[in-house]
Amino acid sequence: MSYHLSKMVGLGFDAAVDATIAALQAEGFGVLTDIDVAATMHKKLGVAFRPYRILGACNPRMAHEALKLEDKVGTMLPCNVVVQQHDDGSVEVSAIDPVTSMQGIDNPELARLAGTVRDMLRSVVNRIA
């Protein structure tokens, strides 16, 4: 089982980031964090890295339900979505598969909720051109 939902997109990097944020919003997610990995690697290590952004996405309703089911599930939130440009110039969008990430928690209700969130994130990835 894969730990991510991924798709190559026919957009430039910046357009893919914008489209990903819009798709997240359309599914009820907000972006709580936006980490520019290339800028961070340059600043902290002085190394060049390809365009790579980590968007920390949260659907408040789903997060609230998860926290009611498991008080420590916050260690696994928010749901990360990555937009990256590969060396050949192609751009890929990847979202965490919450079903896979929650397998270590023995709670059938949380597993059900994770399945709902996976469907929402799959819809996000599929929305992007």
Q: Does pTM surpass 0.75?
A: yes
CA distance 59 to 65: 10
Give the per-residue pLDDT at 15: 98
Query: In the prediction, which pLDDT does 129 show?
Result: 85
Determine the average pLDDT of the residues in 7-34: 98
- Tell me the angle at which helices 108-127 and 60-69 cross, rounded to the nearest 10 degrees: 160
Does the pLDDT value for residue 1 go beyond 80? no
Name every residue whose Cβ is closer than 8 Å to that of residue 102 and which is 6 or more positions away in sequence.
73, 76, 110, 111, 114
Q: What percent of the chain has pLDDT over 90?
A: 98
Q: Give the residue from 94, 103, 53 showing the smallest Cα distance to 76.
A: 103
In this predicted structure, the answer to whether residue 26 has a pLDDT above a threshold of 80 is yes
